[in-house]
Amino acid sequence: MLKLYYMPGVCSTASHIGLEESGAAYELAPISFANNEQRTPEYLKINPRGRVPALVVDEGVIVENTAILDYVAGRFAPHLMPKYAIQRARALSLMAWFSNTVHPNFTHIGRPERFATDTAVHDHLKATGRENFHANLKEIDGLLAGKTWILGEEFSVVDGYALIFYGWGKRIGLPMAELANYTAWKERMLARPAVKRVLEREQSILLAA
């Protein structure tokens, strides 16, 4: 049995959606950041970095969305990642960009202390993070132009990863409705039963009117 350590509403939603879409049997283990559970000795044995997601498998623990999603697709649902090497490389490249650029830009907004100990620059970091994150969302909107899903006509684990950023943009009050391609795609995502189950389980802002 797989076991996913996650927190509702954060980046681990991507792995949660990937598992639900795969049809694999798995167990959920919620981690409360408010209670600092990610820093407990018990959880640090699972993931010494004190982050989510973490997926426990027979062979050990896999961390980071990109690795988890590639593993889940490869083992349980090959249709959730592109078949050919160049297309798979593009999928991994996009998820790496999500992890290395888009997510950190958002983190600058809510966690400026991670990037500077001088509180005098925190407001500037927040403002810059917001501007950069909004630019990232506009780029995602452009990537979706003329496509049903983010890689083309086939749904993939990359779509679940892209969804979390739409929710974060909504959370901080960015004009998400102006991103027509991204918004239309979001509605297609919400129509998928597996995605809807995950969002209901996590009480996602994406389900709010």
- pLDDT, tens digit, 9 for 90 and up, residues 137-195: 999 999 999 999 999 999 999 999 999 999 999 999 999 999 999 999 999 999 999 99
Q: How long is the chain?
A: 209
Sequence-ordered alpha helix ranges (H) in the chain? 13-22, 41-46, 65-76, 85-97, 103-110, 122-143, 157-171, 180-190, 193-201
Query: What is this structure's pTM?
Result: 0.97
pLDDT, averaged across the chain: 97
Q: Residue 209 has what pLDDT?
A: 67
Cβ burial 149-176 (10 Å sphere, 16+ → b, else e): bbbeebbbbbbbbbbbbbbbbbbeebeb
Over the stretch 3-42, which tens digit does the pLDDT of each residue have?
999 999 999 999 999 999 999 999 999 999 999 999 999 9
The CATH number assigned to the domain with range 2-79 reads: 3.40.30.10
Q: Residue 1 has what pLDDT?
A: 85
Topology adopted by domain 81-192: Glutathione S-transferase Yfyf (Class Pi); Chain A, domain 2 (1.20.1050)
Phi (first) and psi of residue 63, to 5 degrees = -120, 165
Residue ranges of the chain assigned to CATH 1.20.1050.10: 81-192
Task: Please give the distance of CA 2 from its chain centroid, rounded to a whole number.
Answer: 19
